[in-house]
Amino acid sequence: MNICVDVSYKSLNKYGEELCGDKVEVLKTKDSDIIILADGMGSGVKANILATLTTKILGTMFLNGALIEECIETIIKTLPICQVREVAYSTFSILQIFHNREAYLVEFDNPGCVFIRNGKLYHMPYKERKIYDKVIKEYRFKPETDDTFILMSDGVIHAGVGKVLNFGWTWDSMAEYSVNMSRETRSAARLATILSKACDDLYLQLPGDDTTVAAVRVMDAQIVDLFTGPPLNKSDDNLVIADFMKEDGTKIVCGGTSANIVSRVLKEEIKTSLNYTDPDLPPIAKIKGIDLVTEGVLTLTRALSLLKRYVENEVDEEFFMELDKENGGSAIAKLLIEDCTKLNLYVGKAMNEAHQNTALPFDLSIRMNLVEQLKEVLLRMGKNVNIKYY
């Protein structure tokens, strides 16, 4: 079975700098995911330019099948020289994970990747090579489901120097903390946020260096099927439910009418929760064989709001507290962020008068608009999305 890759990263700017001197580029090819983390020398504008150039050059060359020797030669020849230090380069890490369970990692002067396998720190063998007087480390390995990789800039292991810790957050201490936190989290986003906050706390919220953590998790394909809205023709009720239940995925039903259709076709009772955890959202319900049953438009709107915050990287402790709340909107968003690689949407085209603006055509109705927005935000998250209309 092919694997999927969940990637997220968080950066802290050096205190007083508007731009970060670290840069992360995440690229997808038809058969692999590529994560590049570059750390430009110094800080501020110059470092940002160096790191951005590095990620763009490496990304473009890797996508076009270039060898690492060609990439490093190009980096050396392209980056401008610092007149003070008489060197100009950006350190970098490149991790490429192929969906057929092969992987390649190359590191140049960045702190080493933290490999976590079976909930423990795993020391991956590597080879050192010298290319144009630059020493690189190369790793070739077979990733396994639930493997976690932490790439970082040196601001991470320097966190706390001279403040909370005499010598900073050493690689060993950071690795141990990463292992412990990886056991308590499911998504790369949550893990990256936890590790970034730990760095910020060690710096006492005054980062002495640009600090970036990229978390990468390997997972099997996870399918979520979401049904919302009654079909245009009532005679298609059985068809839509047959299609909806056909694949072996997590099942979500959004909308009271939709839930009634599922209940009738599956001959299973709807049991509404009496737990009103959020006064702004109707409570969730249960139908045997369905993982999550919620109200429609209000709940999807709340879920979409959380998903948009996620893709805009507005992710912090408060975001995850919201994501963990016991309401339908949070539950949908959490499933789509943490337990979904492919979303199948089954959308009925019958109009709900409560959601219709009579001056607008159907495809601009609220529910359809929400479905289109949901599709766009999931695609931005790197998920696969299929929509079938009825």
**pLDDT for 223 beyond 60:** yes
The architecture of the domain spanning 3-216 is 4-Layer Sandwich (3.60)
pLDDT digits (tens, 9 = 90+) for 365-384: 788 889 999 999 999 888 89
pLDDT digits (tens, 9 = 90+) for 318-327: 999 999 999 9
Q: Is the dihedral of CA 143, 148, 151, 154 positive or negative?
A: negative
Query: Contact, 390 vs 348, CB < 8 A?
Result: yes
pLDDT at 181: 95
Q: How far apart (Å, rounded) are the C-alpha atoms in residues 324 and 356?
A: 32
pLDDT digits (tens, 9 = 90+) for 47-66: 999 999 999 999 999 888 88
For the chain, the domains span: 3-216, 223-389
**pLDDT for 361 beyond 80:** no
- Sheet of 384-389, strands arranged across: 271-272, 285-286, 292-294, 250-254, 223-228, 342-347, 384-389
- Predicted TM-score of the model (pTM): 0.85
Task: State the average pLDDT over residues 324-332.
Answer: 95
| Residue percentage of the chain with pLDDT more than 70 | 93
pLDDT digits (tens, 9 = 90+) for 143-162: 999 999 999 999 999 998 87
Q: How far apart (Å, rounded) are the C-alpha atoms in residues 267 and 123?
A: 53
